[in-house]
Structure 1
Amino acid sequence: MNQPVSLIVSQSAVPRLAVGPTKAREPYLAVVYATAVGEVACFDGRPLRTGQQFFSKYRMRYEVDMRQQHRTAVLGQNPLVSRDGVHAFEVTISFTFRVAGWQGAEEWVRSGLQDPLPIVHGHLNSRFHAAGQSFGIDDSFGLQRHLNQLCAASESLDPGLVMDGCRVSVRPDAKSLTYLEMLIEAEWEENIGAARHRPKSGGAHREGELKAIEQTYEIQATQRQAAAFSDMIANSEGLIRHYLITHPNDAAGAFEMSRQLEEARATTDELQNQRALALFQVMADKGLIQAGDLDLLRQQLTGQVGQATGGHVTLSAAAPPQLPGARPWDATAQLPPASPQQAPDAAAPVTPSAPPTVTAPVMPTAPSASGTTAAPATAFSGVALIYLVIDESLDDDCLDELNRGLAALHSALAGAPAVSAALRLCVLGMAAGTEMRLPLDTVLPSTRTPILAGRQGLSYEQAFRMLQALLRQDVALVKTQRAQVLRPIVFFLSGGVPEGGDGWQDAYRELVDQGGNPVAPHLIALGLGRAQARAVRTVATRPEFGFMAAPHQDVASAAHSCAAFLRDTIIAYGQRLSSGDPQFSLVPPDGFRMAEDAF
């Protein structure tokens, strides 16, 4: 650690015949005498007189340096390792030591040692041993304070030394210093990135708000324009008028469109007349018509040919009956109130012999000649929207059963085109967030099979919010296909306790409020596993629409019953719709009872 230090500055034999030096040359030197057999004596550090030397038994004379010795050392061979056992501290020690008076000089000569540094260094190493294990590599100042406290007082060292004035300086070694610098640089980068993120995030939010406002105004303007031209854009002439209004400087272009339209109509009319005359000729040649029927038949055939070829000549006969003005979706009373006789006994589960029934609106009926109501003239041809909201936080065995049930439902619908055409199916997976597993669509052989994926969490609120958005969008889309839309039916399957307590109930009320939400659905709730009967009863839009698995029923077995229930209920409903009967009946799953009886 340091260059060797010798505390004995001189060593000489005691003179016998000649007169030798009797005094030490410096006041900080102590004179020590030794006999031939190793006895050591120090006469308060004074040298012997000439006469004493002549008759003395001492043979060697030592001069010992008693000055303070200042040294600095670095713990290099035995570094202090930090708490993590990997990094080490670099410890620099500045210390002072000296011979402890005349007695110390005597002990030092008696020891026969020359260099005191190994003794001092060994003492410091033992004093500081394992001190770094209580400190992290980033707490070098804490270790420094601790080491200074350990060596603050003066200490006596054998043989004959005193150490005091010890000061310690601690810092991480080169490897650890590089590590800490990397950590500090990473923290700086993180802080700088966070500081830069705030204005960027604020700017993005503000830009998004501005774009949303602009989009809102554009939508409103488009809606106003559509409302203003709704009566005008009903035929080709209306489209030309709309073009002329929106392009007032292009009257020539609008006139040219009108001219081309008239030419096209004239050409079409001519073609229709030629085809009609040819048909008349064939029918007259074969004696299929009488002369008195020519005018009426010609008018009808001309209209039919015109419709077949894209013309504008209409039939003179009565037009087919139109759909009623009140669409099935707009009907407010879809469900007949349950009478006391129809209500199931509270002590017994609902049985298939008395299933709860939903009656959807049908086509208007016409009175018969006898005054009784006849069967509908036209079978119902509406579309039912079916949504399956299934808990994906269930265990793997339950999800396997439900996935097999979804695959069976998919296969049954894909193999029955008439049944599938009457339904639109959507599957949602519910966990901490709600994800689309199958968008609303007609199930065909080419339609992918929905697959549930296990996830954590359970949020009813997210499911109800997503349902409300999807229903508005899907109903509007199906209505554009000129189909009658029945009020959607949602099958809601839960196997756990929803997150956030009862915070989901506001979203639920917004979803099922028929006054505020024109697309409010019927909800059929199924509970199994850890699901709460009270929550299941609340989700069901009618008491007889909430079902709970029996407490003793295995969860996987309950999931199997739910899968079979979904498959059979949806297929049966599709079969009735395809036959023109919109009535919806419900039979509880095997092993389930009504939720209101479960609490």
Structure 2
Amino acid sequence: MTAELSLILNERPLPRNRLGEVETTSTNIAVLYPVGDGAWEIEGTRPRRWWQRPVEKSRRPCYAVDMGDHRRTGEFLRTPLPCRDQAHRFEATVDIGFRVHDPVELVRRGVRDGLDVVYGHLRRRLRAHTRKFAIDQADRAEEHINADVESGMRLPEGITVFHCVVHLEPDAEAQEYIRELTRSDRRNVLERFGHRNLVEETRNRAEIERIEQVARLEREEAERRALESLPSGVWALLQRHLIKHPEDTGYAVEAFRAYQESVGAREEIQDQRQTELLKFLVEKDVIRQADVPALREDMRRRIEGSAGAGAGAGAGDGTPAARRSLPATGTDGAPVMWGGSGGPGVVREPAAPAATGVVPIYVALDTSYATQECVGELGDALRSLQTALANSPDVSRAVRLSVVPFAERARVRLPSTTVGWDTDVPTLSAGGDRRYGALFETLLDRVPADVERLKRQVSPVHRPVVFLLTAGEPEDAADWPERYRQLGEHRYAPIIVACGIGRADPRTVVRLANPSELAYAAESPGALGEAVGQYSVFLQNAVLHIGRGAVAGNVDLLLTCPMGLRRITPDRVAGPTADH
């Protein structure tokens, strides 16, 4: 700011005849005489020789007040003006004009420095305005302030501000902040355009890869149809190869001979292990000696049936059928089968191959607010399942897949579909509370309609299977059991394979499973992303197994837990559980 400006020209009262000693450049002066009781007499102003008065007043004490116009330009640097966030400051340059309109009030208040009064009032007024604007809105704040002070200001000290123009600029730190924001905005715009271009390029590349893959699959399918008249088995596979590559005949014959020898050796080892196992069971009084022949025949049929449902490695080539062991059994991986008269959990004899039917499968995924951190992994699980089915077209034709995400509501995002490479896998999003009742109501409406429609198209239609993944407890704990009961009592009641991760209570998971032996839980429930990855492996293996069973005419559930999941049953869950 500029130097001090004294509007009262004499600090102490002077006799009237001594006012000529007061130094001033103003010719517009008011002389004030105190007359007692706080009253004042104003002599008035004269343009020249204002100190000349009649002799009777020449010795009276008085004050001289500068009544002229004053123009000043100043800057608020030491006391910058705050913006709306209070973190940055404006610097203000003001062009101001003012004059005294009430010399009595000026003297009564003892105003010595007129600039201090004017700038102090203006600073307070400007601060009230600048707090309403962001630091990058200096032009708007300036316009708002100038509109406010355009009509002038009358100050209580007796001073009138008749001219005021304010110019605002952010201070140095704020200007650097604004420049950084501008650079950041520009980078964001460029990155958005770059991201958009990258997405488009990726989509184009994926479309080309899809077309190439479809063409490759069509060629493979045409080749398969051309060769399907040939017998199956290892020797048939070698024959197909030698048709295209006759130069490999010598090596192929030698390799096939070695293969026959290895198959015979494996069968001898298998027979020896069976004998040792049966001998051990007899010695421990687990079985009787008389039961050994029947058990040996039972084991033989199981192994041959398992091998026959596979690639038929030795069929048609004169070698014994290759044997495959059943999935590992135990506390958490015990095989559970369904679809026969023995009921859930009963292991039954392999059925003879029948005409291929279809199995309606529903993947019900918890997409409530609790799964926000793993909703990406849930989408990956669906895409992995699509890849697994598309790579096995014979299995895919026996499966009708539906995807039913649920939270506060349940909606069928992928209706009963034969999955292929061109299947549009839904994109999932998480949010809302978790309500089982909405899911079971949707299934009760959808499952019977799907089964009836499929029965008109293909036969047989196997019992529907629901794979249900939940990450916590439901909000409708009192209501969902009734919807669950209605679904379970329907003639097309589905099998429900339930799995709990996150905060899901094992007791609730057991109640969801139908039968209760098909209840599973994550070993580390808190790590949602990891648990979803383990469930994805479980889901792929289970769906492919069911589909292969449908192709072979022998559908069962023989589910083995992958690493990270465990099977839970009512007798292993702490506390009471509700019966189905």
**TM-score normalised by structure 2 residue count:** 0.49
Considering only CA atoms, is the larger Rg found in Structure 1 or Structure 2? Answer: 1
